[in-house]
Chains A and B, each alone.
Chain A
Amino acid sequence: MGEPLAVEATGLAKSYGPISVLAGVDIAVPQGTVFSLLGPNGAGKTTTVRILATLLRPDRGQARVAGFDIARERRQVRRSISLTGQYAAVDELQTGEENLRMMARLAGLDRRAARRRAAELLDRFDLTGAARRRVGTYSGGMRRRLDLAASLVVQPSVIFLDEPTTGLDPRSRLAMWQVVTDLVGSGMTVFLTTQYLEEADRLADKISLIDAGRVVAEGTPAELKQRFADQRLELHLVDGSAYEEVVRRLGPRAIATNPAQLSVSTATDGTALHIRALLDEVDPDHTAVRRFAVHTATLDDVFLALTGHTATSPEKETADV
């Protein structure tokens, strides 16, 4: 502690009727860092962002953003933040340049300053060539870049990015990651939500894993990987009955069970001693395990270990868990 916090939330809760979306979320983000709220669809990420951006009132809990209380000092919070939502918040019938000039004017710049700022941003986000084209003709990646540019017409102290790369192709995603990395250099605090483990791993200084409206773990990417699943032992079994027997012996330690492929994983520290002991324990007759492999843990494993399910990514590139 000690360093000033850009975002500080305690006990945020929100329900819609009987459905609890957030069940007491605590968050602390130091200034000038990238924070990622990581979780599957419906975990409560967008709700959290909307509460912190003063667009939604929490049922319970308090939060301060950029030093201001989100309930009592809403206006000051709004002056200190910018929000880039899941859906591009730009007008399709206006050109990229017109959108940026409009946002700059709304942010309080005069006509000339707005024009200058729009030109700078178009250049910085590699959109100068498309400046005079209507946004309706932009690709998904261009639209997201414009959207992000629009949230930077004045330098916010905290920028909220709600799933900035959802639905983008891999190349546009890489470009977006570069843009986010560049933002941090300027002293801004970035609050990013994502359902992509790789994205949180690449960008965030600190991650909170959220599932069903609760933060289930937090730490740096390295800490999380270390703490929850340093290495992963993957066992391939000879047949169905061997599979069931091994899963039974592992009990709650079994992660990523896959009956179709007769495979199951469990956490290990990766030493020969531990692996030998594990194999002896689950397969005392040395007949059940056909092969095994040791993997360095990914955030996927952490997520799995904590929640019992994967952070479902619709376009998962790899088939193995």
Chain B
Amino acid sequence: MSDTLTMVGRCVRLSTRNIEAMMTALFLPVMLLLLFVYLFGGAIDTGTKYVTYVVPGVILLCAGWSSATTAVTVSQDMQGGIIDRFRSMDIGGVSVLSGHVAASIARNAASTVLVLGVALLVGFRPDAGPLAWLGAVGILLSFVLAITWLAAAIGLLAKTPEAASGFTFFVAFLPYPSSAFVPIDTMPGWLQGFARHQPVTPVTETVRGLLLDLPVGNNAWWALAWCGGIAAMSVILSAVLFQRRIR
């Protein structure tokens, strides 16, 4: 446990000192929000103000982007000599990776607060009580946890940091064919089936429902099941892959 805390300290420190990654993590989300609201939003009819519709999607999209950073830093760690040292000190893989995951959660928390702040400035008016806020934060947190652990596993699997970054592209792309940016009914029929049954849609619907005081239905359970499943699978995969590196 104390190893894990030390690793968290390490990764948060490394993260705040990686200026480029930090800038990207903080300002890309704001840029995307403004892009969607002012450039695309006018042409998209969602029945509400577009900013109201799109905020959860932007947060999820950025979580996807941010997971690339995790995959790359994990992969860089595995290439450098430091992992050999950690391993020869008998530090477990889950401790090492937990550090990266915690740093990612910290980055996402910062960018989410920033996005919400800017969204409020440009007309986002959530209608949620404290419990609903708590629920929304919980769902977002479990989504970030799930895709960050997935990214960590990808970082272990990839031979180079570049490859790791490439793999996470798919994760980062997932919010587009979902209900995050446009209503699913407007998509071609063959895409609707995928869009309705992929993890980003129930997460988006739950967060949107909670923030706007709309009915959430079964989406919350689907969201939690997806996130829990992805996280559990990724943690197990990471532990195995980390051990495997001792060939």
Question: Which residues on A are within 8 Å of B, measured CB to CB?
Answer: 50, 53-57, 75, 78-79, 81-83, 85-91, 93-94, 98, 102-103, 105-107, 134, 150-151
Query: Closest chain A residue to B83 by CB distance?
Result: A89
Do B13 and A98 touch (CB < 8 A)? yes
Which of chain A's residues have a CB closer than 8 A to the CB of B9?
102
Known: A94-B13, A105-B6. A54 touches B88 (CB 8 A): yes
Contact with A along B150-185 (1 / 0, CB 8 A): 000000000000000000000000000000000000
Give the chain A neighbours of B2 by CB distance below 8 A: 105
Chain B interface residue number, banded: 20 to 34
Verify if B43 is at the interface (C-beta below 8 Å from A): no
Contact of B14 among A56, A82, A93, A107 (CB under 8 A): A93
Main secondary structure of the interface of B (DSSP, over half): helix
Taking the closest CB of chain A, its distance from the CB of B127, in whole angstroms, is 43
> Do A79 and B80 touch (CB < 8 A)?
no
Complex partner residue of B18 from A55, A85, A93, A151, CB under 8 angstroms:
A93
- Nearest 9 A-B pairs (CB), nearest first? A89-B81, A87-B81, A89-B85, A78-B90, A93-B17, A85-B81, A83-B88, A89-B82, A105-B6
19 contacts between A and B (CB under 8 A): A55-B87, A55-B246, A57-B247, A78-B88, A78-B90, A83-B84, A83-B85, A85-B85, A89-B81, A89-B85, A93-B14, A93-B18, A94-B13, A102-B9, A102-B10, A103-B85, A106-B89, A134-B17, A150-B85
Given A57-B247, A106-B86, A106-B89: 7 more A-B contacts, CB < 8 Å? A75-B90, A78-B89, A85-B81, A89-B82, A89-B85, A103-B89, A151-B85
B89 cross-chain contacts in A, Cβ below 8 A = 78, 82, 103, 106-107
Asked if residues A88 and B81 are in contact (CB atoms below 8 Å), the reply is: yes
- Please name the residue on chain B nearest to A153 by beta carbon: B89
Residue pair B3, A56 in contact (C-beta under 8 Å): no
A86 to chain B, nearest CB (A): 7
Give min CB distance, A218 to chain B, whole Å.
Answer: 25
Question: Does B91 have its Cβ within 8 Å of any Cβ on chain A?
Answer: yes
Residues of B with C-beta under 8 A to A134: 17
Q: Which residues of chain A come closer than 8 Å to B91, judged between CB atoms?
A: 106
Q: Which residues of B contact A50 (CB under 8 A)?
A: 84
Instruction: Check A56–B13 contact: CB distance below 8 A.
Output: no
Q: A57-B247, A105-B6, A106-B6 are in contact. Are A90 and B88 (CB under 8 A)?
A: no
A85→B14 contact, CB < 8 A? no
CA distance A143 to B14 in the complex (A): 18
B84 engages A85 (CB within 8 Å): yes
Chain B's closest residue to A50 (CB) is B84
- Of the candidates B10, B80, B86, B88, the one whose C-beta lies within 8 Å of that of A53 is B88
In Å, the complex CA distance between A102 and B82 comes to 12
> A residues within 8 A CB of B86?
106
Distance A49 CA – B95 CA, assembled complex (angstroms): 25
| Inter-chain contacts of B246 with A (CB < 8 A) | 54-57
How far apart sit A78 and B2, CA to CA, in the bound complex (Å)? Answer: 18
A89 touches B84 (CB 8 A): yes
Within 8 A of A (CB), among B1-23: 2-3, 6, 9-10, 13-14, 17-18
Contact with A along B41-70 (1 / 0, CB 8 A): 000000000000000000000000000000
Q: Which residues of B contact A90 (CB under 8 A)?
A: 82
